Amino acid sequence: MKKEISYEVVKIGIKNTGEAPIGREIFYQCGICQFIVPSTPKDSTGCLCNNIGIDKDLHRLFVKDYSNFIVLRKNSGSKSLRGGWRRKYFWFLVEKYGFTYEAKAEFQFQNPKMLVQISLGPKTPRIYFLRRGDDPEYMMPIERIIEFLDGHFPYRDTLKYELEENVVYYADLFRRYADRLINDFEKWWFPAQLFFYKQYGANYLYPYLKQHRMIE
Ligand SMILES: [Zn+2]
């Protein structure tokens, strides 16, 4: 079988070079000229438009425009396929809503207010939300939030479908609610927690709700 070489996006949206990982399998891509350079080059190198430069003698990475700096990992084989679905189907979070993406983070998509975790699972993808700075214990699945917003729990019999079909379904569900979920995050986050607490007797939420003055 032909050995496939592919690149997986590891990180975009970093703010300084100190946040850039380095390694034999790590490469940097320039979003302007699309050129890819190794993070550990044998000699000083750079992209075609000089947005990215690596000075071997100084051991330094130079980046002019961080919004056009993409960290990649080189893969051989197809193990990146599942991770690729996250980028393929949830990339609207980056393009349309300005999230940053980090493949290895517990919550792969982040903005200043909220964190989003997409876990693929063997058959059933899960989308979790968390308020930035809060304990992951309080993360909330998208179904519960939709139940709070619209009064119905979106149920899908995921075992009837292939994983990728389920990923497409959940990405589409997210996309349909994205304006409300993202733009109105501060309006629904605590009321949704309170709803969940009351509806399901989720007692572990009590100290959290009390701390944020949602209950006495
Ligand atoms: Zn360039």
Question: What are the domain boundaries of the chain?
Answer: 5-76, 81-211
- Give the integer Cα–Cα distance in Å for 209 and 186: 14
Q: What angle do CA 87, 90, 92 make, to 5 degrees?
A: 110
Give the pairing type, strands 100-102 and 36-38. Answer: unpaired
- Dihedral pair phi/psi, residue 41, rounded to 5°: -75, 155
- Give the integer Cα–Cα distance in Å for 37 and 53: 9
Regions in the chain scoring below 70 on pLDDT: 1-5, 76-81, 83
Residue 190 CB: number of other CB atoms within 10 A?
15
Q: Which residues surround ligand 1, an ion (CB under 5 A)?
A: 30, 32-33, 47, 49, 51
- Give the integer Cα–Cα distance in Å for 45 and 43: 6
The per-residue pLDDT for 3 is 47
- Give the integer Cα–Cα distance in Å for 205 and 40: 47
CA 200 – ligand 1 centroid, Å: 53
CA 102 – ligand 1 centroid, Å: 21
The per-residue pLDDT for 76 is 59
- In this predicted model, what pLDDT tens digit does every residue of 116-138 receive, in sequence order? 999 987 778 999 999 999 999 99
CA 181 – ligand 1 centroid, Å: 35
Could you tell me the strand order of the sheet in which 140-141 lies?
Answer: 36-38, 26-30, 69-76, 5-12, 100-102, 109-110, 114-119, 126-131, 140-141
The per-residue pLDDT for 153 is 87
98: tokens are: 């300005």
Model confidence pTM above 0.85: no
Q: Residue 13: which region, alpha, beta or left (left: phi > 0; alpha: psi -120 to 50)?
A: left
The per-residue pLDDT for 1 is 42
The per-residue pLDDT for 81 is 64
The per-residue pLDDT for 134 is 96
CA 99 – ligand 1 centroid, Å: 22
